Amino acid sequence: MNLLTKALTKSLWVFHLSTGSCNNCDIEILDCLTPRYDVERFGIVLAGSIKHADVLLVTGIGTRKNAKRIQKLYQQMPKPGFVVAIGACSCSGGIFRDGYPMAGPISSLIPVDVWIPGCPPKPEAIIAGLVSLLGKLK
Amino acid sequence: MIFLLWLLVSLVVFFGLGIITGWLERKLTARLQWRVGPPWWQNLADFVKLLGKEVVVPETATSFFSLAPVIGLAAVTTAGAMILLAAFQPGSSVDLIVLIYILVLPSLSLILAGASSGNPLASVGVARELKLMLGYELPFILALLVPVVKAGTTNLGVLFRLQLAQGMTVGSISGLLAFGVALLTIQGKIGGVPFDVSEAETEIASGLLIEYSGLLLGIFKLTRWMLTAVAVFFLVFYFWAGLSRVPSAIGKYLLIVILLVLIKNTNPRLRIDQAMKFFWGWLTGISVTAILFAYLGW
Ligand code: SF4
């Protein structure tokens, strides 16, 4: 593993994108930043702009209105960049899979590296997912 | 030639100091929020990672887009070299006024960056940063004038050394007031939290730096850490007799960093008009008072 990849595994900046989620997954993501879980220990912070990010965290089903935007954001992300789909919605459509705005699941719009299922996934599950992303990087 | 050498020294010293100071800021913030926080090499890892990322240049960007970060880094390195030169080479003729000019350049480079990236959110950031700059420069310069009034010279080396003979500047009322004002204006200069309207992550998505990625973003981040280190270093030497003893200088450096972090963590972000009122009202008033006191010899 070269130096740049090593640095990347130690410093993942995350851009959080919500595309038609019920907001519950988003709250669980914020849980990961609280004192109890504190993912900044591993260098993971939320980025304000997609241009700063290494990871695109997607929650929600990917609505018809958002489909184009998700793809645009993915293209704007500086490479190497990764996509993590959080929640049953973004993995498979979840309870909204038969809904009229469904354009996803996310993996049909952009390539997904890690799926974290759950409705919503616990913070522990999200951290486990990020660890498996790091494993993939190595 | 000799100044080139000092530039190199400054780059190395303030690179290290900047990385450590940037980490200290994050670690202390984390501890204040009852978190564990990142390990000490975190900012170095961030910087190295950014070196390896793709640089995305927007179609609307002008040619200043990639020039701006270099200007900022060069300015910070020069400022650092000037301070080191004044502190550690007796008889050097480094002038305070030139240093004030050079310390404006990092903010100007940020403005240039935002304006050249052609992003509407960045242009909001540019407008705010410009106003903020007008705001903090006035009290900053007035506060720096207090030791000048006392010593009657603008030679930085003399100002640093005079405190060894006459006691530190913060020991007097006027010096203490000026030091407080300088501390708060430096928080504005480095874009620390009550005055971070131009970056405001949650509001205008990193504002000025929204379009930056990869190496260019890395240089900006590095510039900010180095600027913090340079500014705090300057405060220690300029107001607090940093030359007297090395261990006490390190202690003073840490104390000022802790103060800055405390200010950052206990204040919400000010609106731009509130920030202007604060700078042009309170701080300017206090620094003018400090200058008057200095004339009276207090
Ligand atoms: S997976 Fe469940 S909790 Fe998450 S957005 Fe979908 S419905 Fe909400």
Q: How many residues does chain B have?
A: 298
Instruction: Give the tens place of pLDDT for each residue, B180-223.
Output: 899 889 888 887 777 776 676 666 667 788 888 888 888 988 99
Interior angle at CA A15, CA A74 and CA A85, nearest 5: 70
ipTM of the complex: 0.86
Q: Is A135 on the interface with B (CB under 8 A)?
A: no
Ligand 1 probe mutation, A18, A19, A61, A89, most atoms within 8 A of CB: A89
CA A130–ligand 1 middle distance (angstroms):
18
Q: Which one of B33, B55, B205 has the shortest CB-CB distance to A48?
A: B205
| Mean pLDDT of the residues in chain B | 85
Determine the Cα–Cα distance for residues B216 and B114; give it in Å rounded to an integer. 13
Structure tokens at A62: 């990917």
Chain B residues in contact with A41 (beta carbon < 8 A): 35-39
Mean pLDDT within B251-259:
89
**CB within 8 A of B73, min separation 6: which ones?**
B219, B222, B223, B226
pLDDT for B202 equals 64
Residue B84, CB-side half-sphere exposure with 13 Å CA sphere? 21
CB contact under 8 A, A10 and B49: yes
Whole-model pTM? 0.88
Determine the Cα–Cα distance for residues B221 and B198; give it in Å rounded to an integer. 15
Minimum Cα–Cα distance from B32: chain A residue:
A35
Chain A residues in contact with B214 (beta carbon < 8 A): 78
Domain boundaries, chain B: 2-296
Q: Which one of A11, A35, A80 has the shortest CB-CB distance to B34?
A: A35
Minimum Cα–Cα distance from B37: chain A residue:
A41
Instruction: Give the tens place of pLDDT for each residue, A17-50.
Output: 888 888 888 888 888 888 888 888 888 888 888 8
Helices (H), chain B: 2-32, 42-51, 64-88, 96-116, 120-151, 156-166, 173-189, 201-204, 214-239, 246-266, 272-277, 284-296
Instruction: Give the tens place of pLDDT for each residue, B99-152.
Output: 999 999 988 888 888 888 878 888 888 888 888 888 888 999 998 888 888 888
Q: Is A54 on the interface with B (CB under 8 A)?
A: yes
Find the residues whose C-beta lies inside 6 A of ligand 1: A 21-22, 24-25, 59-60, 87-89, 94-95, 119-120
Interface test with B, best of A49, A55, A72 (most B CBs within 10 A): A49
Q: A61 and A101 in contact (C-beta within 8 Å)?
A: yes
pLDDT for B75 equals 92
Residues facing A18 on adjacent strands: A59
Q: What domains sit in chain A, N to C, each tagged with a CATH number?
A: 3-137 (3.40.50.12280)
pLDDT for B229 equals 92
The answer on pLDDT for B291 being more than 80 is yes
User: What number does the ligand 1 atom closest to the CA of A120 have?
Assistant: 3
Residues facing A15 on adjacent strands: A56
Structure tokens at B234: 């300057």
The answer on pLDDT for A115 being more than 80 is yes
What Rg value do the Cα atoms of chain B yield, rounded? 19
Chain A residues in contact with B35 (beta carbon < 8 A): 34-35, 38, 40-41
Residue nearest to atom 8 of ligand 1 (CA): A22
Determine the Cα–Cα distance for residues B185 and B187; give it in Å rounded to an integer. 5
